[in-house]
Amino acid sequence: MVNKVILIGNLGADPELRYTQTQKPVAKISVATTKKYNGNEKTEWHTVILWEKLAELANSYLKKGSKVYVEGELTYRTYEKQDGSKGYSTEIVGQQMRNLTPRDTASVASTYSASEPPKVAEPPAPMAQKPVEQPRQAPSAYEDIPF
């Protein structure tokens, strides 16, 4: 079975970087995707959670309005709201991220992966598909997410 989400969109706000109780960095980004049809536009908002090195890289290099490519898996979680009721959240746990916003005047795109150090791709190089020995998964204790 496959659980894979690919998004290309713009950040609606600067990344929110926080740390879990065990000091693991985790970032939340909000990505907007827009679909145009029959002269109309529809924008969907997606919450993306990035862990560890990806979280730190997103915080360093992305900002509101940045165009980004995110690849990850769809997750659902429940949490307790402040009023005691149960809340539900649909999120994408990012496994790869690519900054599509050119730096200054050079049109260089940076590719980041949860399992590899940052790389700089030649413009406009496609993302290389590399076999992954074992998919990197976010920690299973979602209640540890400080958002």
Domain boundaries, the chain: 5-144
Residues 6+ apart with CB under 8 A from 53: 25, 112, 114, 117
Give the per-residue pLDDT at 6.
Answer: 96
Domain range 5-144, CATH architecture: Beta Barrel (2.40)
Q: What is the mean pLDDT of the chain?
A: 81
Predicted local confidence at residue 103, as pLDDT: 74
- The whole-number pLDDT of residue 146 equals 63
- Rounded CA-CA distance 19/123 in Å is 33
Identity (one letter) of the amino acid at 74?
L
pLDDT tens for 96-115 read 999 998 876 334 445 556 65
Rounded Cα gap, residues 127 and 112, in angstroms: 10
Confidence of residue 131 (pLDDT cuts 50, 70, 90): very low
